[in-house]
Structure 1
């Protein structure tokens, strides 16, 4: 950085000698932007209701509002499958990260095992009231003006189109009963 300032100063002096106007500016790092394109979802209507709205916030940033109501308490048998994919063609996404079936209740107790999910949930909880402990109580949950904080993305995240697919299920006897599934489509750009 000091070398850049020194070189910029010398260039300015040389330009001043030849009567050319010069401004010294230190280049700033480009910030990534996450733009939500679409949010699709499916719910188990016997267990919950949900409404999701994608909208432009006052600052022009696409945000997501989510209102949900859980009709019954869900005990410790709560699971999530999470797949993060990047678009490779017009109709095809390639999976980058898969968590497999993960016990959400175990995750809530020890979130360091899944760093991406930990980061996503930490980001979500700043925008509303969501379910982040077990048992999950029946009641209303919401997000208001949610957007993805780009500081939570790894610095090496490439630009492009992404899909985050997560499904939440609960275990009943020997079967996994769906609660909800969401597909978040977003673009990462500069």
Structure 2
């Protein structure tokens, strides 16, 4: 009897050891982007944005043309969750020097992680000052693995303001979306025991 129990315990342990790393990669939700609105200072930058929603995947593409050298760039980020229809409660609010973020990898780990993820999907600014030219983001899909697994099913707003002292606004954008638990791979309803 003891040998059967030990053999079963070993088999379960082996299965967990093999499959646990893979289960950590599953999320019980999808991030679906629903709308993007923006305004840009057309003397400094031209911005084109395209949002596509196909078969449950949201993909964001941007083309950014800068007309002059831009230095000393300030970045303000605000992430809010919808509490009432159209009202958002701020979850994260940060203002920092964007050039410092690009130069010092540990200046703000959260925003640096988001920016590094964006860099994998295009050719964006990698140093300051930002030189005149064309930059792009192509078919960016939010990496759910970067987000905590306990996120509630809710609507959100990601606001970003890029500005320059003495000049003012360069770009202001709002990205709206929702956390959809019915679209996740590890849907709890699908795998429930009842």
Q: TM-score, normalised by structure 2?
A: 0.76
Distance 1:32 1:132, change over 3 A: farther
Matched, 1:74 2:65: no
Matched, 1:32 2:29: yes
Q: For 1:136, what is the secondary structure of its paired residue?
A: coil
> 2-side partners of 1:80 and 1:124: how far apart?
15
Structure 2 counterpart of 1:86:
81
Structure 1 counterpart of 2:157:
163
Matched, 1:42 2:39: yes
Matched, 1:181 2:176: no
Structure 1 range deviating more: 43-52 or 31-40: 31-40
Structure 2 counterpart of 1:103:
97
Measure how far apart 1:113 and its partner are: 3.4
Q: For 1:113, what is the secondary structure of its paired residue?
A: coil
Gaps (5+ residues) in structure 1?
Answer: 10-25
Structure 1 counterpart of 2:139:
145
Give the RMSD, CA atoms, in angstroms: 2.1
8 Å CA contact 2:27–2:144 kept in 1: the answer is no
Structure 2 counterpart of 1:55:
52
Distance 1:111 1:139, change over 3 A: same
> 2-side partners of 1:40 and 1:34: how far apart?
18
> 2-side partners of 1:149 and 1:44: how far apart?
29
Matched, 1:130 2:124: yes
> 2-side partners of 1:109 and 1:181: how far apart?
23
Distance 1:106 1:30, change over 3 A: closer
1:133-159: CA deviation from partner (whole Å, max 9, x where unpaired): 211111001111111010111233322
Measure how far apart 1:55 and its partner are: 1.0
Q: For 1:46, what is the secondary structure of its paired residue?
A: coil
Gaps (5+ residues) in structure 2?
Answer: 1-7, 13-19, 182-194
